[in-house]
Amino acid sequence: MRPRFVISSTLRSLLVAGLALCAVSALSGCVYRMNIQQGNYLEPRAVAQLQVGMTRSQVRYLLGTPMVPDAFDNDRWDYLYYLKRGRLSAPEQRHLIVYFKDDKVSRVDNSHVGPMPSIEQRQMDPDTAESNARSNAAS
């Protein structure tokens, strides 16, 4: 007769729990995270066309309706943009502020505005976008 290999119930439960933990951790890396894009995407040439002295309607036509209307200051429009690709990359954030005086643009604060990603970069996956950015920086 062959000797039977006997596993205690605690060892068996630990083995099952360990296998379940390994399976869950392996499958969690396979979850697709879609890109999250929020706010006003501002074309760089539209921001370049923004000039002091433009009326509110001209700014609205050029940039669109501001994302955050300021309830306390009607003479300030904030344009926010947020793009999060996947789950591992850091989000891209942009902030453009337009100040008005007598219903005309008095100044524009675009110190928080970096280069907006192109339409192709907004739609591609993060790995491709990062490799394209590295190759463009190298050339």
Where residue 84 sits, what CATH number does that domain have? Answer: 3.30.1450
Q: What pTM was computed for the model?
A: 0.58
Give a yes or no: residue 75 inside a domain.
yes
For residue 94, what are the β-bridge partners? Answer: 81
Per-residue model confidence (pLDDT) at position 60: 93
pLDDT of res. 114:
57
Identify whether 70 is part of a domain. yes
Q: How many domains does the chain have?
A: 1
Please give the residue range of the domain that contains residue 44. Answer: 36-130
In a domain, 13, yes or no: no
**Assigned domain for 107 exists:** yes
Q: What is the mean pLDDT of residues 15-39?
A: 78
Taking the C-alpha atoms of residue 76 and residue 47, their distance in angstroms, rounded to an integer, is 16
Average pLDDT, the chain: 77
pLDDT score at 99: 93
Q: Quick check: is 73 in a domain?
A: yes
Those residues whose C-beta lies under 8 Å from the C-beta of residue 130, and which sit 6 or more positions away, are 89
CA 2 to chain centre: 63
Residues 6+ apart with CB under 8 A from 133: 121
Question: Quick one: pLDDT at residue 80?
Answer: 87
pLDDT digits (tens, 9 = 90+) for 80-123: 888 888 777 788 888 889 999 999 999 998 876 555 555 565 55
Is the model's pLDDT at 126 over the cut of 80? no
The answer to whether position 19 is within a domain reads no
Q: How far apart are CA 67 and CA 78, in angstroms?
A: 6
Q: Give 59's pLDDT tier (boundaries 50, 70, 90).
A: very high
Section 24-45 average pLDDT: 78
pLDDT of residue 73: 85
User: Is 84 inside a domain boundary?
Assistant: yes
138 lies in some domain? no
